Amino acid sequence: MKVSVDISMYPLKEEYCQPIIDFIEAMEKAEKVSIQRNSMSTHIYGEFADVMSAMNSEIEKVLNEIPQTVFVIKLIGTDREKANIRAC
């Protein structure tokens, strides 16, 4: 099953920019997932197992280094790039 994830990372420390950049760059190296950056969040696309495996691995690394990090994750069970979603 294809999924789309919108993820934001908030390291609760003064030097917060580099950990975010490091996380995104690590996610970009993950196999079988597609990453799109923007100024508010990062979008991850791919097969459910591939996306969740990549996120699990990288989120665990971050939380081991900076336990005071908040992740906000939204997940939809379709390839949002190709989804035709109409407003209510």
CATH number of 20's domain: 3.30.70.930
In a domain, residue 47? The reply is: yes
In a domain, residue 23? The reply is: yes
Domain count along the chain: 1
In a domain, residue 88? The reply is: no
d(CA 24, CA 45): 13
Please tell me the predicted confidence (pLDDT) of residue 88.
Answer: 55
Could you state, in chain order, the average pLDDT of each consecutive group of 10 residues for the chain (88 residues)? Answer: 96 95 96 93 96 97 97 92 59
In a domain, residue 83? The reply is: no
Residue whose tokens read 């990062």: 42
Please tell me the predicted confidence (pLDDT) of residue 83.
Answer: 57
Q: Which residues of 27-58 are buried (b: 16+ CB within 10 A; e: fewer)?
A: beebeebebeeeeebbbbbbeeebbbbbbeeb
In a domain, residue 85? The reply is: no
Please tell me the predicted confidence (pLDDT) of residue 12.
Answer: 97
Q: What is the pTM of this model?
A: 0.87
